[in-house]
Amino acid sequence: MEYTVLGRTGFKVSKLGLGGAPLGGDFGETSDEIVFNVIQTALDLGINFIDTAPLYGKGESERRIGKALKGKRDQVILATKAVMRGDPYTYENTIKSVEESLKRLQTDWIDLIQLHEADMTTFEEAMDGTIRAFSKLKEEGKVRAIGVNAGNVDLLIPYIKTGIVDTVQTFGRYMLIDYSAKDSLFPIAKEWNVAVINGSVLGMGILADAPAPFIKKNQKLLEEAERRKEKLSFLRKSGPKGLAEPAMRFSLTCPDIAVTLTGTTSTMSLKRNVSYCDGRGFTEDENQKIFQLFEGKKLFDAY
């Protein structure tokens, strides 16, 4: 396992982190036992960053993680989010959301608290409500660092410039078929020493040849994604899901990404992804070829 420092937080984190959405059952049936095995396997393999949210399984992901980490809390950098989807991003709702997360996670502190889905609120509302609440909770020692999560990377930039935010998280914006975050987000994050957490490097399953059910409804996006995948045939490994390994390595070896998240309830899949954390990426020629293919061509934002 490779490790890095999470921006200005000073936290030493594994470059591969465990994402919490599948642990709550959002991508299929699971159980406490399965989740406990996945988390223990992650710890045994050197993963020390776990990212979840109240939204995942409507609290089930946090509850399971908290139970699994009992007696092992100091082994991980634990990240969660606020608020629950549908709730206003007010100061009061945020305090309540974090307090409930602390109970489900069975912990006295959260290492990284993140504003969830900045796409669902305005910058002004979030700063006056959620971010102000985060700052208060940080003063009280209940959270140690503050982050913001959004699908649209452009929405993250104003938060970075406040100087309050320690991390930003996005998903599907730095992967083999859409690396739009490379020029828009990474330079400003680096300038402010804000760490980038990267999710959905398989493009909601597209690069693993198994698109998520909600993606299957978007035929135009799928057709464009397949066209882009054909142009990446020079990277494809033999066997099923031949672009999965290149997709993981693309993110894991990017110097502008602190943590790449993997979400799984399979210990086999987890072990396979950990095996890619060996520092081996693409050649300079391969990288240049990739970046010439879809420069400035967003995927998820365009369809």
- The tally of CA atoms less than 13 A away on the side-chain side of residue 278 is 9
Q: Which of 56, 89, 179, 276 is catalytic?
A: 56
Which residues are CB-neighbours of 82 under 8 A, at least 6 positions away?
54, 93, 94, 97, 98, 101, 113, 114, 115, 116, 130, 133, 134
Token pair, residue 54, equals 């109240």
Q: Is the peptide bond before 165 cis (omega within 30 degrees of 0)?
A: no
d(CA 269, CA 49): 17
The 8 Å CB, 24+ separation contacts for 120-125 are: 120/85, 120/89, 121/89, 123/155, 123/158, 123/159, 125/88, 125/89, 125/90
56 among known catalytic residues? yes
d(CA 199, CA 174): 8
Q: Which of these, 217, 146, 207, 219, lies nearest to 171 by C-alpha position?
A: 207
Q: Which of these, 287, 222, 226, lies nearest to 251 by C-alpha position?
A: 287
Token pair, residue 50, equals 């776990």
Residue that is written with structure tokens 């996006």 in the block:
221
**Whole-number Cα distances in Å, 70 to 29, 37, 40:** 23, 14, 11
Active site residues: 56
